[in-house]
Amino acid sequence: MIRRFPEKVGPYMGFAVAVVFPLTSLLFRRRWHGLEHIPDHGPAIVAVNHVSYADPLIFGRFVWDAGRIPRYLAKSSLFELPFPLGRIMTGAGQIPVHRGAADAAQSLRGAVDALGRGELVLIYPEGTVTRDPGFWPMRGKTGVARLALLAPDVPVVPVGQWGAQAFLDVYHRRFRPLPRTRITISAGKPVDLSDFAGAEPTAEVLEAMTDRIMRAVRDQVAFVRGEAAPEAFHVHRTDRPERPR
């Protein structure tokens, strides 16, 4: 069957899919829910929880199966990886985030431009793989809220995914390719952020928007896990004293 997309696939994305598609079919048993909530055309921000370094491969397959081309927000340093990885990321239209930018809005300029072209932008609001002991979503960073304010009227779709941590868990030194891992992903209805329309990006506004988005993501995680989620979000402390040089 010939798959049609609202955006141009391009040779680098085509190559990545040619590698990832059979790999995900071989390694994982997939169960998708809510594909109809991924817009079939036009811009959208898709916010998803992060449980494993294998997530981008698996979630990229979910978005592809929904008929869209995945465009990830990723650290700019990843685009400097040795050939061919960095070149593939650039050629496939992935979006670098310059975390050291003085202007927080400027660090998201690539994402805003992608949304302006009608693309689907994928973001892990936690910023890293969850450190919650039960693998529930952590408290999100405010980048997703900033992006939503910079791109008004663009829907923010919450997604929960579960299972990849059983396949690859770097922090507990676990890699188990067999037996095939069950991966379940569910997309929900867009988060209602209408009451923030036109708001200034104050700390209070950004935190309130982020909390609402993360609660919607957490609800999807609870659905795919079939469990009640904890009320409070785990807070990942990243501040460490500077090491002596």
Structural domains present in the chain: 11-225 (3.40.1130.10)
Section 132-156 average pLDDT: 96
Question: Is the model more confident about 57 or about 78?
Answer: 57
Residue 99's pLDDT is: 65
Residue 100's pLDDT is: 58
Section 103-107 average pLDDT: 66
Residue 88's pLDDT is: 80
Please give the share of the chain, as a percent, with pLDDT higher than 70: 92
Question: Is the model more confident about 234 or about 76?
Answer: 234
- State the CB neighbour count (10 A cutoff) for residue 94: 22
Beta bridge partners of 174: 169
Question: Tokens at residue 227, please?
Answer: 């469990």
When pLDDT is cut at 50, 70 and 90, the band that residue 241 belongs to is very low
When pLDDT is cut at 50, 70 and 90, the band that residue 212 belongs to is very high
* Least confident stretch, 130-144, 153-167, 228-242: 228-242
Please report how many Cα atoms fall inside a 13 Å half-sphere around the Cα of residue 180, on the Cβ side.
Answer: 12
Res 183 pLDDT > 50? yes
Section 192-216 average pLDDT: 97
Quote the CA–CA distance of 78 and 50 in Å, as a whole number. Answer: 17
Quote the CA–CA distance of 93 and 108 in Å, as a whole number. Answer: 15
Res 240 pLDDT > 50? no
> Mean pLDDT for the chain?
90
Q: Is 205 exposed, middle or buried (0-12, 13-18, 19+ CB in 10 A)?
A: middle
Res 143 pLDDT > 90? yes
Beta bridge partners of 187: 159
When pLDDT is cut at 50, 70 and 90, the band that residue 220 belongs to is very high
Instruction: Please work out, in degrees rounded to the nearest 5, the angle formed at the alpha carbon of residue 42 by the alpha carbons of 40 and 48.
Output: 70
Res 193 pLDDT > 50? yes
Res 34 pLDDT > 70? yes
Res 81 pLDDT > 90? no
pTM (predicted TM-score): 0.90
Question: Is the model more confident about 104 or about 201?
Answer: 201
Find out whether 94 and 109 touch, Cβ atoms under 8 Å: no
